[in-house]
C-alpha cells in the first residue's frame, strides 16, 4: 500500500523528481567513473611491464630506477659497465637479459638503444608481445623502430630519415649519421609508444667522435669506416632480467645488490610500482573526494526538493493524519520516496557508466594507452550504490520529521 502511494506521489511530480533522479544518476556515474579510471590507471601502470623479474641499474632509488628504465622519466645517476652486464648475464639463474641504453632523444622523444631481444622478451598487459605492424625490426646498424605515438605525432612512415639529438635537451644533432625508420610498433599503451628504438651498436656508432659528452673538434669518421669498427658498448643504462625459476629471484637480487665490482641495484618491478603508487596516492584520494562531494551535492539537492515540496503537500499530509495515518506511515512514505529516487538514480547512473565505458574504452585506449576494464559491478561498486540509497534515506529523515510535525489545523487552513 505505502509503496503504491509513494510511486503515485513521485509520478504526480514527474518533472522535479525526474530532474532529481538525473542529478543523482550523473553524480553516481561520475563517482564510479572516477573509480574505474583510477583502477584502470593503476592496472595500466602495473601492466606496463610484465614477465620481467628484475630490473638492474646503477645504485640509486628503486622508484627512480623504475621511472627511467621503464617509463623513460628522469635520468640514471650512473651507468652499468659492460663487463658487469656480461657477468650478470652469465649467471646460471638468468634465463634472459635485455640491455637498455638511454641518454639521447629525437624531438623530445627518448631514444633507447637495445638488442633484438627486447622485441622478444618485453611483455605488457598480462603477457602481450610487441608487434611491428609496419616494416621490420633492427636489421641494419642505422635502423630505427618507432613507437606508435612517435610515428603519429611526427608523421613518420617506414623509410623516412630521422636524426638523433645528443642528450635530452641538446641542440646538437648527430646529423652526420642519420637513421632510417625501419618499422613502427603497434600501439601498446606503454612508454614504448613514445620511444625511438635503435641498436646498442648504433648508440656507440653515433658517439664515435664524442668524448666526455662533447664532440671532438674537427673529427668526423666516415660511416663506411664506422660500420667496420667493433661497436661493443662500454656501458649501458639498465637491464631487464628474467630468471629461470621464481625461487631464484631474491637470491639473484641479493647477489646483484652486493655486487663487489661496482654499486648496482636490482629491483622487483611490482614492488617498485607499489612504492610509486604510495607517492601518488594523495592525488588519487583528492580525486575520489571531489567525486564523492558531487554525490553529496546531489543528495542535498534531493533533500532541498523534498523540503520545497512540503508546502505544496501540507494539505495532503493533514488529510492523511485526519484519516488516521500513523506517524510511522508519513515518515515511511517520505523516506521510501527518497529511497526510490536514489535507487532509480543509482541504477540509471550505473547504466550510464557502462554505456560510457563501451563508447570510451577504445577511444581512451588508442589516445592515452589507458585500458578501462568492463566487467560486472564489483563489490565496492555495489557498496557505493547501497551507500547512496542509504544516505538518501537518512537525508530524507529531516523533511519527513518536519512533515510529520505539521499540524492538522495548519494543513487544512485555506490561505488567502
Q: Does residue 16 sit in the same domain as residue 98? A: no
Asked if residues 146 and 183 have their Cβ atoms less than 8 Å apart, the reply is yes
Indicate whether 98 belongs to any domain. Answer: yes
- Helix, strand or coil, per DSSP, at residue 198: strand
For the purposes of burial, counting CB atoms within 10 Å of the CB of 363, is it exposed (0-12), middle (13-18) or buried (19 or more)?
exposed
Among 267, 294, 322, give the residue marking a domain's end.
267
Indicate whether 272 belongs to any domain. Answer: no
Place of cell 646498424: 141
Question: Does residue 6 surpass a pLDDT of 70?
Answer: no
Q: Does residue 83 sit in the same domain as residue 210? A: yes
Indicate whether 274 belongs to any domain. Answer: no
Indicate whether 118 belongs to any domain. Answer: yes
Q: Does residue 352 sit in the same domain as residue 230? A: no
* For range 254-280, the mean pLDDT: 89
With the C-alpha atoms ordered 255, 257, 260, 264, is the resulting torsion angle positive or negative?
A: positive
Contacts 24+ apart (CB under 8 A), 166-175: 166/104, 166/210, 166/213, 166/215, 167/103, 167/104, 167/105, 167/213, 168/75, 168/103, 168/104, 168/105, 168/110, 169/105, 170/105, 172/215, 174/104, 174/206
Which of 159-163, 171-175, 258-262, 349-353 is the least confident region?
171-175
- Helix, strand or coil, per DSSP, at residue 348: helix
Q: Does residue 37 sit in the same domain as residue 59? A: no
Q: Does residue 220 sit in the same domain as residue 132? A: yes
Q: Does residue 76 sit in the same domain as residue 126? A: yes
Q: Does residue 41 sit in the same domain as residue 64? A: no
Domain hosting 199: range is 54-267
d(CA 268, CA 255): 14
d(CA 226, CA 370): 42
pLDDT score for 370: 66
Among 267, 290, 320, give the residue marking a domain's end.
267
* For range 187-205, the mean pLDDT: 92
Q: Does residue 13 sit in the same domain as residue 101? A: no
For the purposes of burial, counting CB atoms within 10 Å of the CB of 60, is it exposed (0-12), middle (13-18) or buried (19 or more)?
middle
Angstrom CA distances, 393 to 47, 312, 406, stand at 41, 21, 20
Side-chain-side CA neighbours of 243 within 13 Å: the count stands at: 18
Residue 171: band (very low, low, confident or very high) from pLDDT cuts 50, 70, 90: low
Among 242, 267, 292, give the residue marking a domain's end.
267
* For range 54-83, the mean pLDDT: 92
pLDDT score for 412: 47
Q: Does residue 239 sit in the same domain as residue 290? A: no
Count of structural domains, the chain: 2
Q: Does residue 88 sit in the same domain as residue 195? A: yes
* For range 146-154, the mean pLDDT: 92
Q: Which residues contact 17 (CB under 8 A, 6 or more apart)?
A: 10, 11, 305, 341
Q: Does residue 112 sit in the same domain as residue 200? A: yes
Indicate whether 276 belongs to any domain. Answer: no
pLDDT tens sequence across 28-56: 888 888 888 777 777 777 778 888 999 99
d(CA 244, CA 246): 7
Asked if residues 402 and 310 have their Cβ atoms less than 8 Å apart, the reply is yes
Indicate whether 345 belongs to any domain. Answer: yes
With the C-alpha atoms ordered 12, 13, 15, 18, is the resulting torsion angle positive or negative?
A: negative
Element (H, E) at 58: strand 54-58
Asked if residues 97 and 240 have their Cβ atoms less than 8 Å apart, the reply is yes
Q: Does residue 17 sit in the same domain as residue 135? A: no
pLDDT tens sequence across 321-361: 666 667 667 777 778 888 888 899 889 999 999 998 888 87
Indicate whether 76 belongs to any domain. Answer: yes
pLDDT score for 416: 45
pLDDT score for 170: 61
Burial 101-137 (b: 16+ CB within 10 A, else e): bbbbbbeebbbbbbbeebbebbbbbeebebebebbeb
Question: Does residue 174 surpass a pLDDT of 80?
Answer: yes
- Helix, strand or coil, per DSSP, at residue 282: helix
Asked if residues 332 and 2 have their Cβ atoms less than 8 Å apart, the reply is yes
pLDDT score for 314: 64
Side-chain-side CA neighbours of 162 within 13 Å: the count stands at: 28
pLDDT score for 357: 86
Which of 167-176, 283-292, 323-332 is the least confident region?
323-332
With the C-alpha atoms ordered 14, 17, 21, 22, is the resulting torsion angle positive or negative?
A: positive
**Residue of higher predicted confidence among 51 and 366:** 51
**Residue of higher predicted confidence among 373 and 392:** 392
Indicate whether 302 belongs to any domain. Answer: yes
pLDDT score for 110: 93
Torsion angle, CA of 164/170/171/174, rounded to 10 degrees?
-30
Question: Does residue 21 surpass a pLDDT of 80?
Answer: yes
Which of 188-202, 269-283, 341-355 is the least confident region?
269-283
Q: Return the closest-CA partner of residue 68 out of 195, 211, 204, 205.
A: 195
d(CA 237, CA 15): 64
* For range 386-395, the mean pLDDT: 86
Which of 62-76, 226-240, 333-347 is the least confident region?
333-347
* For range 116-132, the mean pLDDT: 90
Instruction: Please state, rounded to an integer, the average pLDDT across all residues of the chain.
Output: 84
* For range 162-185, the mean pLDDT: 87
Amino acid at each position: 500500500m505505502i509503496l503504491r502511494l509513494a510511486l503515485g506521489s513521485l509520478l504526480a511530480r514527474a518533472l522535479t523528481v525526474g530532474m532529481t533522479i538525473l542529478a543523482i544518476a550523473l553524480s553516481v556515474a561520475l563517482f564510479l567513473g572516477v573509480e574505474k579510471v583510477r583502477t584502470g590507471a593503476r592496472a595500466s601502470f602495473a601492466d606496463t611491464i610484465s614477465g620481467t623479474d628484475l630490473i638492474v641499474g646503477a645504485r640509486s632509488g628503486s622508484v627512480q630506477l623504475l621511472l627511467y628504465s621503464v617509463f623513460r622519466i628522469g635520468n640514471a645517476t650512473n651507468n652499468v659497465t659492460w663487463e658487469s652486464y656480461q657477468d650478470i648475464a652469465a649467471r646460471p639463474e638468468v634465463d634472459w637479459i635485455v640491455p637498455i641504453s638511454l641518454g639521447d632523444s629525437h624531438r623530445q622523444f627518448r631514444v633507447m638503444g637495445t638488442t633484438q631481444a627486447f622485441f622478444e622478451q618485453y611483455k605488457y598487459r598480462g603477457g602481450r608481445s610487441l608487434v611491428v605492424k609496419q616494416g621490420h625490426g633492427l636489421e641494419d646498424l642505422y635502423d630505427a623502430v618507432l613507437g606508435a605515438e612517435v610515428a603519429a605525432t611526427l608523421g613518420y612512415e617506414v623509410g623516412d630519415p630521422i636524426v638523433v639529438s645528443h642528450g635530452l635537451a641538446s641542440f646538437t644533432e648527430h646529423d652526420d649519421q642519420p637513421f632510417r625508420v625501419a618499422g613502427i610498433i603497434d600501439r601498446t599503451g606503454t612508454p614504448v609508444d613514445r620511444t625511438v628504438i635503435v641498436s646498442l651498436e648504433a648508440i656507440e656508432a653515433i658517439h664515435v667522435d664524442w668524448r666526455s659528452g662533447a664532440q671532438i673538434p674537427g673529427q668526423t669518421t666516415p660511416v663506411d669506416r664506422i660500420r667496420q669498427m667493433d661497436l661493443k658498448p662500454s656501458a649501458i643504462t639498465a637491464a631487464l632480467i628474467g630468471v629461470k625459476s621464481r625461487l631464484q629471484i631474491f637470491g639473484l637480487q641479493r647477489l646483484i645488490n652486493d655486487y663487489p665490482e661496482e654499486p648496482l641495484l636490482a629491483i622487483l618491478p611490482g614492488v617498485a610500482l607499489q612504492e610509486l603508487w604510495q607517492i601518488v596516492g594523495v592525488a588519487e584520494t583528492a580525486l575520489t573526494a571531489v567525486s564523492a562531494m558531487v554525490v553529496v551535492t546531489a543528495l542535498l539537492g534531493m533533500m532541498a526538493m523534498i523540503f520545497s515540496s512540503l508546502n505544496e503537500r501540507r494539505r495532503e499530509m493533514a488529510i492523511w493524519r485526519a484519516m488516521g495515518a500513523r506517524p510511522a506511515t508519513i515518515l515511511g512514505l517520505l523516506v521510501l520516496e527518497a529511497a526510490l529516487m536514489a535507487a532509480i538514480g543509482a541504477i540509471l547512473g550505473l547504466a550510464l557508466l557502462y554505456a560510457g565505458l563501451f563508447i570510451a574504452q577504445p577511444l581512451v585506449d588508442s589516445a592515452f594507452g589507458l585500458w578501462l576494464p568492463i566487467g560486472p559491478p564489483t563489490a565496492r561498486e555495489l557498496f557505493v550504490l547501497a551507500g547512496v540509497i542509504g544516505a538518501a534515506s537518512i537525508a530524507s529523515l529531516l523533511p519527513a520529521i518536519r512533515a510529520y510535525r505539521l499540524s492538522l489545523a495548519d494543513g487544512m487552513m485555506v490561505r488567502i
